[in-house]
């Protein structure tokens, strides 16, 4: 969805009305929910197996998983800038190197997508310590507190509680860019990851586990999908998006994810399709490299539709096989 959402804004892309509803942000929300679920599941598995979390090993595995491909991207962008192909400011580099792009006003397109990686890294810094020091009970308290706290902050922003005019336009359908930046901050978006983490915690409670199964029965899943589609279409209503949209999206995605885990028959065959599985395995590389080729304003031939999609897949494949795969083998040896 991120790739399609960006591709349809490049030169040569079709201008079908239906495409305006393709929301790359929903793809990022899916990434957040699944990430919270998977990371928390791995940490809980380690607690039950060893009785504790080895923080040193956790952070070493995360660094090996994320940083080699990420810094290869940064090196590529730096070479392109040196050759005069891209134009970035020093602030772009500082934000990208410190994982603070989500707090940076108007980043350059080439590295703007690292805002979501920044939020993810902030989650990695805090969450393992919560489970390591406080255990599962602290995880529940922190996760619920994060969901409520982020929601309250977003509501405050949307309702214009800040004095002066910084968020004065947030009630309108076309808020200022200053107001739009508010939905990229860690403390306004971390709840999406927290909802995935809470679902992983729920797997270890028989009562919650059974309730999740009832809430994700086959007859209820289409309702979550319909609600997610409606919520996505209301994204342009800025006050709705901040007050309700992100929370509704995250809950619907979490329920659909749980339903997908439990699915059988036709749904499982679709999700286990070889093509979709390959996209899922290579999704990190695809996300990293798509921004360079799906440039909405660059006149270069490689940025025009549809060949830009092909270049994204080629770059992601090279990154996956030449960088991610060898490093992941090392990561798995360390994990064992």
Q: Is the pLDDT of residue 106 over 70?
A: yes
Instruction: With cut-offs at 50, 70 and 90, classify the pLDDT of residue 166.
Output: very low
Residue range 48-59: mean pLDDT, rounded: 92
Per residue in 70-101, pLDDT (tens digit) is: 999 999 999 999 999 999 999 999 999 999 99
The count of other CB atoms within 10 Å of the CB of residue 48 is 10
Residue range 13-30: mean pLDDT, rounded: 75
Per residue in 25-49, pLDDT (tens digit) is: 888 999 999 999 999 999 999 999 9
Q: Is the pLDDT of residue 167 over 50?
A: no
Q: What is the pLDDT of residue 179?
A: 56
Q: What is the pLDDT of residue 330?
A: 85
3-state secondary structure the chain: CHHHHHHCCCCCCCCCHHHHHCCHHHHHHHHHHHHHHHHHHHHHHHHHHHCCCCHHHHHHHHHHHHHHHHHHHHHHHHHHHHCCCCCCCHHHHHHHHCCCHHHCCCCCHHHHCHHHHHHHHHHHHHHHHHHHHHHHHHHHHHHHHHHHHHHHHHHHHHCCCCCCCCCCCCCCCCCCHHHHHHHHCHHHHHHHHHHHHHHHHHCCCHHHHHHHHHHCCCCCHHHHHHHHHHHHHHHHCHHHHHHHHHHHHHHHHHHHHHHHHHCCCHHHHHHCCHHHHHHHHCHHHHHHHHHHHCCCCCCCHHHCCCHHHHHHHHHHHHHHHHHHHHHHHHHHHHHC
Per residue in 250-309, pLDDT (tens digit) is: 999 999 999 998 888 888 888 899 999 999 999 999 999 999 999 988 888 999 999 999
CA angle at residue 247 from 123 to 35, to 5 degrees?
Answer: 35
Between CA 137 and CA 159 the distance in angstroms is: 33
Between CA 319 and CA 299 the distance in angstroms is: 25
- Sorted by sequence, the CB contacts under 8 Å of residue 43 that are 6+ apart come out as 53, 58, 127, 128, 131
- 166/199: higher pLDDT: 199
Which residue ranges make up each domain of the chain? 2-67+93-265
């Amino acid at each position: 969805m991120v790739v399609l959402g960006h591709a349809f804004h490049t030169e040569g892309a079709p201008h079908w009305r239906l495409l305006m509803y393709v929301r790359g942000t929903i793809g990022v929300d899916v990434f957040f929910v699944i990430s919270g679920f998977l990371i928390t599941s791995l940490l809980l598995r380690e607690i039950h197996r060893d009785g504790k979390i080895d923080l040193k090993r956790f952070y070493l595995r995360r660094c090996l998983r994320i940083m080699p491909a990420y810094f290869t991207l940064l090196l590529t962008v730096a070479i392109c800038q040196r050759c005069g192909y891209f134009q970035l400011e020093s602030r772009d580099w500082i934000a990208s190197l410190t994982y603070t792009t989500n707090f940076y006003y108007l980043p350059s397109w080439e590295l703007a997508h690292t805002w979501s990686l920044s939020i993810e890294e902030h989650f990695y810094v805090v969450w393992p310590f919560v489970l390591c020091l406080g255990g599962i009970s602290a995880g529940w308290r922190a996760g619920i507190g994060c969901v409520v706290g982020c929601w309250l902050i977003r509501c405050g922003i949307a309702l214009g509680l800040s004095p002066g005019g910084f968020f004065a336009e947030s009630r309108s359908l076309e808020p200022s860019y200053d107001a739009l930046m508010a939905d990229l901050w860690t403390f306004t978006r971390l709840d999406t990851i927290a909802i995935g983490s809470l679902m992983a915690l729920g797997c270890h409670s028989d009562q919650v586990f059974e309730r999740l199964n009832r809430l994700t029965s086959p007859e209820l899943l289409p309702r979550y999908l319909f609600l997610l589609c409606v919520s996505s279409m209301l994204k342009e209503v800025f006050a709705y998006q901040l007050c309700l949209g992100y929370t509704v999206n995250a809950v619907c995605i979490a329920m659909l994810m749980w339903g997908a885990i439990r699915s059988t028959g036709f749904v499982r065959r679709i999700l286990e399709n070889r093509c979709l599985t390959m996209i899922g395995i290579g999704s990190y590389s695809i996300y990293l490299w798509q921004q360079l080729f799906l440039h909405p304003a660059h006149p270069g031939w490689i940025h025009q539709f549809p060949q830009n999609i092909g270049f994204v897949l080629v770059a992601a494949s090279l990154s996956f096989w030449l960088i991610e795969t060898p490093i992941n083998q090392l990561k798995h040896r360390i994990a064992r």
